[in-house]
Amino acid sequence: MKLAVEGLQHPDRARFTPAACALIIALLAGGHCVTRIFSRTLSLNAARIIEFRIRQDLFRRLLLLDLPFFAASRTGDILSRFSNDLTNVRMLTGFGVMSSVNALILYLAAVTLMLRIHPWLTVCAVAPFPLMVLAVKKVSSRMFQRSLEAQEELAHLTSLAEESVSAVRLIRSYCREQHFQELFGVTAGRYLEQNLGLARLRGLIIPVMAAATGAGTLVVLFLGGRLVIANAITLGDFVAFSGYLAMLVWPTAMLGWILTLAQRGAASMSRLAFILAVEPAVADAPDAQPLDAVRQGIELRGVSFSHGDTRILSDISCTIAAGERVGIAGAVGSGKTTLLRLIPRLLQVADGMVLIDDLDINHVTLASLRQRIGYVPQEAFLFSRTIRENIAYGCADGRSDVAEAVRRAGFSADVEKFHEGLETLVGEKGVSLSGGQKQRLSIARALLAGPDILLLDDPLSAVDAGREEEILGELGRFCGERTVLIVSHRFSAFRECDRVLVLKDGRIAEQGTPAELLARDGLYAEMYRTQQLAGD
């Protein structure tokens, strides 16, 4: 532009004609366009790759974390980190980094070229910019805190939405729609308030930046014009100087947006880093060795366990021979489920030892340990897939004898009633199945894996008496030489057990065969009579 103006002023002394300058400008614009396309593609692709890798790391970490972590975390909060927080990090590493690099290059190039034209005019033109930087720095800390609070509120909003959708039938049955609408409105209002506060801060920065660039422009017009009149610089220099200053307007305006991205990205990354930094308590020890088979059985030596300050189990010691069937009875809260969860190391054995074939399970690889154990939890979780896929879920080797597992679990009659049989979709969390059907499907899933140890945590609580007899008979034939531990509130489930452990306040109060315990007329006999009187 400088050369073009000078060419118009003094055609006889011009290095390039205006037409040549126009052609050069067009070529440079084309080159700039191509460069911008490639730079955006590379930068944004890199941001997507970063997002992908962080998401993979997050999911891998979540699969390793322990049950207490998920008990203390809200599902919606975790989902918010996977979606909104990751999006903020991607925006920072993509558009944020790209815009920052563009701003840096433009500032360095423009200011350097302005200094070559007239150093003092350059100093005067950029003098308002340090004031702008100080104002931005003062606001940035508040923006980070606001961004973090906004992300936390969004996590609460996501959690509430997820819980409301999951419990929609319960909400409707108790006519609580209005209550949840109001609760959602309050939570959404807090999120709106945080974002409006963030917008106000951002709105404060942009006028400050505009004022800085506007002041610079006024300085150039006034001082630069006087320099042209005094022939200190040429008209072409003035045009070029004004053009360089104009180049700074857009990156300066972008600084506010970049700052917002940086603060949001930093706040989101701190939330992601929290999950990535959590170390699972249950992990393979450095000297862990694989468990090949279960030949000798299970031994518990002085096992104790606490949830925080609450003692759940105290000094549990017993030996369970291979192939033995052991029932575990006790009142609610006596530690039955916790005891089962310790054997596959779903909870860490911190006090005492659990040995399988004389190997401390803390020094056995988790994969080999859990491959030898079939676990049926109290609450059967089903994936939103077909019945066949849910049953075959635990068989990584592609075993296909699903029908036999269905028969052994007493689930065949129910499957036959479905129009599509084993290919029936169960819906989210098995919404299309009853509680008893979910339990029988969960039993079939455990049986199909052919485990050496079978852990059944109250698997028949939602099954009617007639179906219970059928399932217990099939389980008796399936178990054979397998080691079985069954927790149940129904004493009929202990009929085929070789021994029953009775827990009270986290300790073994009694143990023996069902007949011996009834004859002893102790705690087991008392609970048995209470259940008989209740008509169970």
For residues 139-173, b (16+ Cβ closer than 10 Å) or e, as one string?
Answer: bbeebbebbbbbbbbbbbbbbbbbebeeeeeebee
Q: Which two tokens stand for residue 339?
A: 């005891």
Residues facing residue 300 across a β-bridge: 318, 354
Question: Which of 283, 340, 361, 359 is CA-nearest to residue 454?
Answer: 340
* Amino acid identity at 448: L
Q: Which residues of 423-449 are buried (b: 16+ CB within 10 A; e: fewer)?
A: ebebeeebeebeebbbbbbbbbbbbbb
For residue 129, the model assigns a pLDDT of 75
What does the pLDDT read at residue 253? 67
- Dump pLDDT digits (tens) for 124-178: 888 887 777 677 767 766 777 777 788 788 878 887 887 787 777 778 777 888 8
Label the pairing between strands 325-330 and 310-321: unpaired
As given in the structure block, the two tokens for residue 388 are: 């066949």
Dihedral (CA of 235, 236, 241, 242) sign: positive
Q: Which has the closest alpha carbon to 359: 371, 368, 348?
A: 368
Token pair 């300790």: residue: 507
Q: Which residues of the chain have pLDDT under 70?
A: 14, 133, 137, 140-141, 253, 256, 394, 396-400, 462-467, 470, 474, 477-478, 480, 534-536
Neighbouring residues of 266: CB distance < 8 A, sequence distance ≥ 6? 92, 144, 147
Instruction: Specify the pLDDT at position 287.
Output: 85
CA 383-385-389 angle, 5° bins? 95
CA distances from 420 to 350, 392, 393, 416 (A): 47, 17, 19, 8
Domains of the chain: 2-277 (1.20.1560.10)
Strands of 483-487's sheet, edge to edge? 373-376, 453-457, 483-487, 325-330, 499-504, 507-512
pLDDT of residue 397: 55
Q: Mind giving me the DSSP string for 275-337?
A: HHHPPPSS---TT-B-----SSEEEEEEEEEEETTEEEEEEEEEEEETT-EEEEEE-TTSSHH
Half-sphere exposure of 70 (CA within 13 A, CB side): 11
Cα–Cα distance measured from residue 167 to residue 429, given in angstroms and rounded to the nearest whole number:
12
Structural element, H or E, at residue 455 = strand 453-457
How many whole angstroms separate alpha carbon 56 and alpha carbon 46? 15
Q: What is the pLDDT of residue 137?
A: 67
CB contact at 8 A, 518 and 329: no
Closest by CA position to 294, among listed 445, 457, 484: 484
Q: Which residue in 386, 395, 410 sits closest to 467, CA to CA?
A: 410
Other beta carbons within 10 Å of 409: 28
Question: By three-state DSSP, how is residue 105 classified?
Answer: helix
User: What pLDDT, on a 0 to 100 scale, did the predictor assign at position 172?
Assistant: 78
Can you give the pLDDT at residue 14?
67
**pLDDT score of 217:** 82
Q: What is the pLDDT of residues 469-487, one digit of tens each?
A: 767 776 776 676 788 899 8
